[in-house]
């Protein structure tokens, strides 16, 4: 445990997206304990701001202990840069996160073909349908789809992968106990159960606008290729593409109509050397020989326009299920693994009734903690959200 406390301490002292972590590891021969025990004089070989020097000289582990305990109580994993299962693809970056907090299945990233799917929040139907079909195909072939769970194209990439029964990784630009955007609560819960959610921001960190472009280096860093589906000239997805290029990864772009705002960024990427992608096969063909046991390129569809998989899924959703009604008796949920606030909220809820957010407020507990606890209860499978800020208690 103490080793993890040192890593959490270092991540807080250096701040997110910092190159200082790697500089310190290089100076102290990858010895996290030596970094922690170093004196101010021993830091002199590294150029430090007064703020960072002060943070490194503060040897209190109290904040790190609070973060560690919260993660333990909420079944949130802590992956440190020095751990053997920390992705080497990410560890090689000059600004690799000292700590990653995660929920879900910790994939062996280095042994898998991971492809990033990114694009604008203000997508067109063309962007929506193409992103869905690409990611659906890629997932069926065995690729892991990585995105940022933002509104728009990111959400479509995750949705398509889940619908295909594939593996997806959501890299958050906020702490793991926050949902952004709020309407993505349900897909976040689904990814937590079927895929992997991770972030470098600890659960008590205040979310800042700078966090979202910062996390883009992690999205591209986990992947061998990045596909940009739609992007205007100022889209954040272009930041991801630029990170991918700097990291030596392949960049693909979906061509769009000349002059259309959402195509300005992707068409510019193509002009500057990105590979044109008109189907998932363009990407699979570049990597399938490296992953013969993972990738099945025979599963790539050959059709155009890129809507068949999406239309098929919509039709399936519209067709009434012929399965037999579920008569299984449900046992009461075991609440032993809940935090104090989560248990209070869960116990206060009634079965077979929509419980409003306001009725679940508790005296002497901040509303922000109530929202955080509701999110964790949903991720853990104790409750389900309903429209209008209401929740159903599960047995």
DSSP state letters, 284-314: HHHHGGG-TTT--GGG----SSTTHHHHHHH
- In the predicted model, residues of the chain with pLDDT beneath 50 are 303-307, 326-330
- For the chain, the first-to-last Cα distance in angstroms comes to 34
The CATH number of the structural domain formed by 340-393 is: 1.10.10
Edge to edge, what strands does the sheet with 355-356 contain? 355-356, 390-393, 383-386
pTM of the entire structure? 0.81
Instruction: Report the alpha-carbon distance of residue 374 to residue 391 in Å, rounded.
Output: 9
Whether 247 contacts 254, CB under 8 Å? no
Instruction: Report the alpha-carbon distance of residue 237 to residue 227 in Å, rounded.
Output: 9
- pLDDT, position 311: 53
Instruction: Report the alpha-carbon distance of residue 228 to residue 235 in Å, rounded.
Output: 10
Angle of the 2-14 helix axis to the 50-57 helix axis, nearest 10: 160
* CA distances from residue 284 to 73, 135, 238 in whole angstroms, order as listed: 41, 11, 22
Q: Which DSSP state fits 93? A: S
The tokens of 147 are what?
Answer: 């995105």
Residues sharing a CB contact under 8 Å with residue 367, sequence separation 6 or more, in sequence order: 361
Instruction: Report the alpha-carbon distance of residue 132 to residue 153 in Å, rounded.
Output: 8
Phi, psi of 358 (to 5 degrees): -65, -40
Instruction: Report the alpha-carbon distance of residue 94 to residue 26 in Å, rounded.
Output: 11
Angle of the 2-14 helix axis to the 20-27 helix axis, nearest 10: 130
SS3 334: coil
- pLDDT, position 328: 45
- pLDDT, position 68: 97
Instruction: Report the alpha-carbon distance of residue 118 to residue 215 in Å, rounded.
Output: 12
3.40.980.10, 3.30.1540.10, 3.40.50.2020, 3.40.50.450: which CATH number matches 109-315? 3.40.50.450
Extents of the domains making up the chain? 2-80, 109-315, 340-393
Instruction: Report the alpha-carbon distance of residue 87 to residue 11 in Å, rounded.
Output: 17
- The predicted-structure confidence for 292-305, as pLDDT tens digits, reads as follows 999 987 766 554 44
């Amino acid at each position: 445990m103490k080793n993890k406390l040192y890593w959490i301490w270092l991540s807080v002292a250096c701040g997110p997206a910092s190159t200082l972590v790697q500089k310190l590891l290089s100076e102290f021969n990858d010895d996290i304990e030596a970094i922690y025990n170093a004196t101010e004089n021993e830091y002199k070989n590294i150029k430090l701001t007064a703020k960072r020097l002060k943070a490194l000289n503060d040897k209190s582990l109290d904040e790190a202990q609070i973060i560690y305990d919260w993660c333990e109580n909420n079944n949130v994993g802590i992956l440190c840069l020095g751990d053997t299962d920390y992705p080497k693809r990410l560890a090689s970056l000059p600004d690799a996160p000292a700590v990653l907090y995660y929920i879900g299945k910790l994939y062996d990233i280095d042994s898998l073909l991971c492809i990033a799917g990114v694009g604008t929040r203000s997508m067109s139907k063309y962007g929506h349908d193409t992103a869905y079909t690409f990611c659906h195909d890629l997932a069926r072939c065995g690729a892991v789809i990585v995105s940022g769970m933002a509104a728009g194209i990111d959400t479509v990439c995750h949705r398509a992968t889940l619908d295909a029964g594939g593996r997806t990784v959501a890299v958050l630009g906020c702490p793991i106990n926050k949902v952004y955007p709020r309407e993505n609560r349900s897909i976040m819960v689904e990814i937590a159960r079927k895929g992997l959610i991770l972030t470098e921001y600890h659960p008590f960190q205040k979310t800042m606008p700078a966090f979202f472009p910062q996390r883009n280096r992690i999205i591209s860093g986990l992947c061998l290729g990045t596909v940009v589906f739609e992007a205007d000239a100022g889209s954040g997805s272009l930041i991801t593409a630029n990170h991918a290029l700097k990291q030596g990864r392949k960049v693909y772009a979906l061509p769009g109509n000349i002059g259309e705002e959402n195509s300005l960024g992707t068409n510019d990427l193509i002009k500057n050397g990105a590979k044109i992608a008109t189907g998932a096969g363009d990407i699979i063909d570049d990597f399938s020989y490296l992953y013969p046991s993972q990738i099945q390129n025979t599963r790539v569809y050959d059709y155009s326009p890129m809507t068949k998989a999406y239309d098929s899924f919509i039709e399936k959703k519209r067709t009434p299920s012929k399965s037999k009604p579920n008569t299984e008796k449900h046992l009461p949920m075991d609440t032993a693994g809940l935090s104090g606030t989560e248990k209070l909220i869960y116990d206060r809820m009634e079965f077979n009734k929509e419980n409003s957010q306001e009725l679940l407020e508790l005296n002497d507990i901040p509303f922000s903690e109530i929202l955080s606890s509701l999110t964790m209860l949903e991720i853990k499978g104790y409750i389900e959200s309903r429209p209008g800020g209401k929740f159903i208690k599960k047995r």
